[in-house]
Amino acid sequence: MTRTIFEFVRYLTYFIWCIIGLIFWLPFLIRMIAFFVGSILVSVSGKADMTVAQEGLDRAVRFYPDGFVHIRESINNLINEKVIENKNYDSKIDFWMPLLEHFIFAFMFWGLSLLMFVKILQVN
């Protein structure tokens, strides 16, 4: 019975991630592509390290699909009673700051997109 509940939670979480993850992923991906292109411009015109831009683009490309992987692994760990503690964060601030950054940028991105869409409709 417990496994059935976990499977239900898994698919419900997949469904929620399909929507929420996409809302956060598109602005993140566009921002990292712009940063990557800007880094290319700087590196072509002089000496610049592309490592940060490459890592950012890699993280952005993997963000959405990795969400599904994390859901699957987390639910599998719960089913197998193997909860693994994430020790990558030194404090709660380190945990919440990237989320806050994504939220603020996504809010600005979608807000400006909606504003531009409304302005385009008003012109026509």
Whether residue 119 sits in one domain with residue 59: no
Whether residue 64 sits in one domain with residue 18: yes
Name the helix (H) or strand (E) containing 23.
Answer: helix 2-45
C-alpha 32/C-alpha 53 separation (Å) is 7
- Name the 3-class secondary structure at 50: coil
- Report, as an integer, the average pLDDT of 1-25: 93
What pLDDT digit, counting tens, does each position of 32-49 carry? 999 999 999 988 888 778
With bands split at pLDDT 50, 70 and 90, how would you rate the model's confidence at 56? Answer: very high
Whether residue 77 sits in one domain with residue 35: yes
Which pLDDT does position 124 carry in this prediction? 63
C-alpha 72/C-alpha 66 separation (Å) is 10
The pLDDT of residue 75 is above 70: yes
Whether residue 74 sits in one domain with residue 110: no
What pLDDT digit, counting tens, does each position of 76-101 carry? 888 887 766 666 656 666 678 888 88
